[in-house]
Structure 1
Amino acid sequence: MLYIIQSSKFLFCYLLCRHESKIIQEILERISSELNLIFQSTISKELVGIESRVMEMLDLYLVEGSGGVRFVGICGMGGMGKTTLALEIYERISGGFEASSFIADVREKTINHHLVSLQEQLLSNILKGSRKNISNVFEGINVIGNRLRNKKVLIVLDDVDGEEQLEALVGNHDWFGSGSRIIVTSRDNHLLRRRGMDDIYTVKGLNNNDALRLFSWRAFKKPYPEENYVDLSKDLVNYANGLPLALKVLGSLLFEKRIDEWKSTLYKLKQEPDSNIVNILQISFDCLMDTQKDLFLDIACFFKGENKNCIRDILKSFGYYPDYNIDVLMDKSLITINREGTLLMHDLLQEMGQEIVRRESPEEPGRRSRLWLCEDVLHILKNDTGTEVVEGIMLNMPIEAKEHLSAKAFSKMKNLRLLKINNVKPPQGLNRGHIQLPQGLNYLSNELCAIDWHGYPLKSMPTSFQPNKLVELRMHCSGIKKLWKGIMILNELKLIDLSDSQNLIEIPDLSGVPNLKQLILRRCTRLYMISASLGDLKELIRLDLNGCKGLKSLPHKINLEALEIIDLGGCSRLKKFPEITGNISHLSELCLSETIIKDLPLLLEHLTNLTKLDLRECKNLSSLPNAMCSLMSLKTLNLSGCSRLDKLPENLGNVEGLEVLNVSGTGIRGLPSSIILLKNLKTLSFSGCDFLLSKPSNKLLNFPLFQRSPNAMGMLMHTLSSLSSLRDLNLSYCNLRAVPDVIGCLSSLTFLQLKGNNFASLPKNIIQLSHLKTLYLCGCMDLRLLPELPLNIKYINADGCMSLETLPIRPEDDFRPCLSLCNCMKLINNQGYNDMFLTMLRRYIQGAYLGYEYFLIPGSEIPKWFSHQSVGTSLNLQGPLDFMGIVVCAVFIFRKHRPLPTTPWGFTHYLHFSYNVMGSEISDSHGIIFHEQSGPGLEVTKCGARLVYKQDIEDLKQTMAGSSRCSISPYEDDLDYSAKDTKIKRSRDDFDGDEAGPSGEATNSEVDIPHPKRIRLPNLIERFIPHLANWIGNSSTQEGDSNCEEEKSQ
């Protein structure tokens, strides 16, 4: 393995960073020019005074700073505009980074959802995938630090108030790739300084002119006050002390109010000589109607951060008329709603609302209307001090806490209308807070409108519980065996969600729940029976029984006219789809994956609005009805793993809207001729379909395009050549002996997978795929050479291409993909490979690339060019301070009898190296140490390094311009080496699934590819070295990369 580190002294560092800042500035200028009207409108009305702050931060801290990782703090008192400033900067510059994440309300979310949830959110945003599951904070730290170490990212953490939040989410500089920017807003300047921010920007209040302008926009909808209100406006603005929040709330309060009301408001403020922002905000609250006050307090205590549409029914059940009153609160600047529909409230307004509730009973929480702090809730539940005053409870249990409550814990709370208890145990058996009721539960209020109790421990609800006002019932991971006996009249109930309730065996009679819209029972593995009354739920929109492995049947007839989503995936005993009567045109998603159904329902042709049909792993499904071709709205059709399915309907091309078609692991050998009509098809996967065994049908041979094609693969490719919209094509493990030239016609292709095939070369016209970004060739063991590839390609994986002898990289080309070449040992004997090494070396050292690239280079010896070499994991270098960079190389082997574990994140091991500098101004001693972090599976046997100086760069230039046989060839005198240290033979015949091979070689069930490892670089290097470029060979760690050893059916 070879790794390049780009370094410089401070002067050179400045020059490099100036180059990077120019790039970012160009991005900003382009964004500004394209969105000029939007920005000007936003700044003139809502963001008065912010433009100068944004430009000051960009100029001083975020653009003209060093090219390394920078942590920038934004500090100021509440209501000063820290979040607004951070968000504006984020929106302007996020396009200049590989990935970005803005996490709002860190302080509050830490209390309510724990740090693990924030870690998952950060990873999901940065890695652009589904939400990642993390078991605990320590795992999250490990994953973030390793997955983001080579990414140039922008991360904003808003409203941080504790060191543990920073430690869990952004750790240290070495967690992120060169050029990353971490922005943290906090009221605590000392916290920011203590955590070692590179810079801290203190937000100050608006000056008098800007303050009056912002106030006027809210009070008069223009940038200046009415003539008769000028003096009053100035007096009121003075009380706000330049705080944007206070100005907005005051201005909104007085909009369209008479002048006597303005004077009354000013009088109230004058009664408080030391009037602060909370007093100003309180005036706005006092002017609300009682219903609006209650709605405001509920949002402050329970619903901040919730989606408005998701809680609308609950708010209606409280009598809040949310469609009207939410708009009132918005008009008064007491809440905002973002584009996703999330209810937002400024921290100071939330604190004011919570303080109003606390004042109801300062000493005894049981006499307050709303309880949200864990210690207050546990106090009343354990001491039985709750009263009729309590209307809402939200309890988020601390990690590892366990509480035993009495059966009378809720007995005195007769008016309780909201109960939320977060009581979920995380995966992998880790202990998280949970409530136990060893004596049962005697009482729950019949006034309850919403119950959300994760981990409810009992098998049933209290017998006296008759919640006729109940709207939502959520009990994930509960102990419920059966909800109720007989018929319970619950006319208001809209949602039942008992997901992961392993004791649930049946769903009771639902005839008393006529307005139910969602029934969600995911992974209730013991559920075997659902009442026939399910078929009469005319309002049901979503039926989700995914993972109910014990369920054998559904009611024979279902009359569900409103149904939009049916998910029966993973119901592995389900043999037959029920008969659905009536109008079912609303159905948009149907999932029958991993069931044992043999035939699709006859009603298929009536599903005119169906957009997604998932039939993955339906092993008994042998044919598809022609009626499927009438599904004009269908966009996604997944048939992967349907091993008995051997053909597609001839008229599939009639489904003109189809965008994704996955037939991986099926018996399908070709596509119908009508496929050329699918002009919107973007993704097509044929992985594991063996075209060598296929024979073209007579009908297909009569089609003009196929008369020149002697085999099924050729016919397939000629068919696909007309699909101009195709972007993602997977032909892995298709037993291809050749790739037809027509592949060059797929002009929109960006992602091409050809893994595990038998061809020896690729067609030359692949260079015509100008949009191609990713190419997978791993496991193509007969592949000998690669043609010239499109210059825009970003990533090539050729792991296990053991016959590969040449690469399409010439010294004069500006061709710079990330390469993974694990086990491509024949490349060592190729002079062009040595030239490639020198070309890449020169480009890296000269700083040609910003960001990172990675390569794995096969070999078992440290090249002689490395002036410092050592056996083992550490070495010391000595030399003058004016070096331009450090080149580091390591050889590693897998330890004997150690299997290679994998994780849900895709990687297996981390190989880190740390770097230390000791010495004077004249000479330095540089220490480098390699160490493995995640397990005992690999061992560094040798390492080497070289300090690179200006003369070395000149020598490299001359070398590349001169003879191809050069004096610093990295493998000079090493070409006849043995690959015993890096080549790890893995044979399918020897694979036993659990043990290493007899010689300590790791085994795997697919191709002969060793697991490459990624080297990580900690903080100390990047403090001295602004531009980092690693040559790394672990393709499986990249987001979106497929595992080269995946099963053919995937």
Structure 2
Amino acid sequence: MALSAQVRASGGSAFRWKYDVFLSFRGEDTRKGFTDHLYDKLQWRGIKTFRDDPQLERGTAISPELLTAIEQSRFAIVVLSPNYASSTWCLLELSKILECMEERGTILPIFYEVDPSHVRHQRGSFAEAFQEHEEKFGEDNKEVEGWRDALTKVASLAGWTSESYRYETQLIREIVQELWSKVHTSLTVFGSSDKLVGMDTKLEEIDVLLDKEANDVRFIGIWGMGGIGKTILARLVYEKISHQFDVCIFLDDVRKASTDHGLVYLQKQILSQLLKEENVPVWNVNGGITMIKRCACNKAVLLVLDNVDQSEQLENLVGEKDWFGLRSRIIITTRNQSVLVTHGVEKPYELKGLNKDEALRLFSWEAFKKYEPEEDYAGHTMTFVLYAGGLPLALKTLGSFLYKRSLHSWSSALAKLQNTPDKTVFDLLRVSYDGLDEMEKKIFLDIACFSSQYVLVEKSLLTISSFDNQIIIHDLIREMGCEIVRQESYEEPGGRSLLWLRNDIFHVFAKNTGTEVTEGIFLHLHKLEEADWNLQAFSKMCKLKLLYIHNLRLSLGPKFLPDALRILKWSWYPSKSLPPGFQPDDLTILSLVHSNITHLWNGIKYLGKLKSIDLSYSINLTRTPDFTGIPNLEKLVLEGCTSLVKIHPSIALLKRLKIWNFRNCKSIKSLPSEVNMEFLETFDISGCSKLKIIPEFVGQMKRLSKLYLGGPAVEKLPSSIEHLSESLVELDLSGIVIREQPYSRFLKQNLIASSFGLFPRKSPHPLIPLLASLKHFSSLKELKLNDCNLCEGEIPNDIGSLSSLRWLELGGNNFALTIARTSRSATFVRNNNQILAQLRQLLEYVLKRWIEFEVLSRCDMMVRMQETHRRTLQPLEFVIPGSEIPEWFNNQNNPSAVPEEDPRLDPDSCEIQCIWNNYDIDIDFGGISVKQIVSDHLCLLVLLSPFQKPENYLEVNFVFTVRRAVGSNISMKVKKCGVRALYEHDTEELISKMNQSKSSNISLYEEVPWLKAKQEAATSGSGGSDDEYYSAAEE
């Protein structure tokens, strides 16, 4: 919840009043009639009103109690009735009221059955009253003159005249409404919303959903995780708009009240407010429903149901829209989105956590009583802010705990949190978990402990990213899930249902303490480790369903694996085959990459549920299994299995196969002569250097979209390719020595990626007709023409018309590359043939074009939207010969990075990775793959910041690492590196520096003269991009 970031001042004007209204009236005129009715309605609306006790009206001196009550009242209502002036008591009250409230303008007169002019000029009954006062006190008595002056002043104020209304009830209703609107601003529980961090925008968004001017009934749902601020937001909305309704009701914590007292109790609470009576008789739920409908149907009701968790609560408390009068608004807060959906609430409002800036402000206020952290605590502050992940409850709890504590105490608290979550936060978050059924609990714990279903989204336990559909779970909710599993067996990890921590897993297998309780093991090591385990522990884990082991080398393999396994993913699997008796009937995924496998099993093994087999880079694998018993296989990946020779003919039976990946299986000499697989989407045999004949594609294969056939031994393409042209979007023929021109038969304009292979030099060149028609390939994003024996002039000048092109490779050809003037392309260019004479010109030209698109796209976005969201512009990547980093990279360094091994990488390439490091948090910022090189090369990356406001971070460290495939012969290092943070406001300066470069003769503003005006029109933003520049060389 967004919690108050300001201490309430006890002397503040909004909180010093004991009463909202003081009633001044003549008892004998109105006490038992008009004033009594007015007092009742004011109290009914929750306006605290003072009226004097009849027993006090004796004597001539006003009591000290009344004088104090006047001083402690925010407003005064003066009921000027015919006999008001005859009472010295009333006149003394009036004088005191004017003394306290005249300057504030908080006196409201009611002319009840009197003419206002008679009051103002003391005529009629008022003249008679003052004649008596003058006879009693003397004509020149100053007190009497003061009373006359008081009546004249109060009669000059705007008020109500009873003669203007046909019915007293109408008059009273208008008075109460006016008073409510006036006192409302002083009744807020939290003070003004600007003291609540992050609430203003949310209130505006809720206002849109409320649409208070609409003459209808609306249900508004607010949902989100525990501690996110739903209750406070609902309370703020309630206080802001409650004066506009006939009846206002706020039911706190419906979940708890329903559990403790039942639905009838809650129905009574609603009816008590509707009828303004206590102890309304309700005997059962159905009776309560009937009474609520009857009492609310003609009233504009504002009803807030806080913390609802069951649909039946809504069904029995607020039912349908026709229960309530027009202009009614029903606000529901819940963690369970499905409750809102089931009840037909349109467009439920999802309340999300605070952004980094808001979180920092709230935490700093709680920890330092100011909105910025102390300088010495800045680093620790950001760590706690990141830990809380925008959850207001956690920010407030942690910040208040750390208030006035030493830096050492902060460090200790952080270390403790890493092992044991804060109890307050844990207990609150667990409520959502307890509301799941047993199967949902298992799914949640799997996700929480194993680091990434819709019911969990509805219960506010996780979210689904709208950007890439990834499961996102809040760190504190993940921690809560992990703690629940730890509590299953604190002392012995083997007694837990899930194991995911390295030390716990090593303990279980070293000590052989596994039990049948364990259902999942997830071990992901960031670096390759070796260990000796007692694998007999598996024999006790008869319920084990998930086994994931990554980057672990064991000296011995398992002799037994549980048959209950559904997912088996084990990189560096040590055995030559799976255990002979292993029969996992429910197995769906089998992944043994980089394993020691020579074959999976002997004979036929029936695994009807198996959907995926991945044995990538298992270099000892010599034969595939018999596929007869796995007819439902959809994915077969044997990439990099360099010893694979024998493909079992039963592979033709895999009619449901979608992915066939035999890339870089360099020992395969033959495949089945035909492929007839209706569901096949990807067919990859590129790099199979001994394969001479490519199978023909027969039957209905309309789903085949990616075809990779590159291999130096292939001299002829299968004629059936032309029948695949409608579905193909990616085609790779690189490495194939083509002697004919088959392209006219199968190349169509729907291709988005295409690679071409080795060509003997002949005239005319086989590719020239294709290159001439490139302008028609509007969808083409990648084009690789490496080693095609092309010469100067054979690349068409209009290649820039390929507006979608992002990747262009031209290495190994017979020309110095000229600048490709692409229109809006962030193009990636490789040319490993020679050092380019126009290197700097090429690099700076493309970078400037990228900046041009960047600035213009943001300008357009500013026009269309009030708030700039994350851009869809693609990052720019560049690999070209050279060693000089331009001087405008103002942060340069000479690193000493040691290459890291990564089993996922292509053995023929390295990857340079940029890591954003800040306060113990590492974010993979982006990278670039580099093929084998023999000289210094420059690698340029222009990456988009993953943060809306990167300037909020006090310090950012960029770490450049080189990763290579395990066992790769390539050895590459980063010799120099540089970073330039590029913000919108300094793009003009950077472009100017580029234009002044001696080696660049292209002016961006000359080409696009309106760019400068466009850029100046854009609002200066804080987001930007970061340029990373590397100079890399092979060691």
TM-score range, shorter chain: 0.3 to 0.5
Q: Which has the larger radius of gyration?
A: 2
Return the structure number with greater helix share: 2
Q: TM-score, normalised by structure 1?
A: 0.43
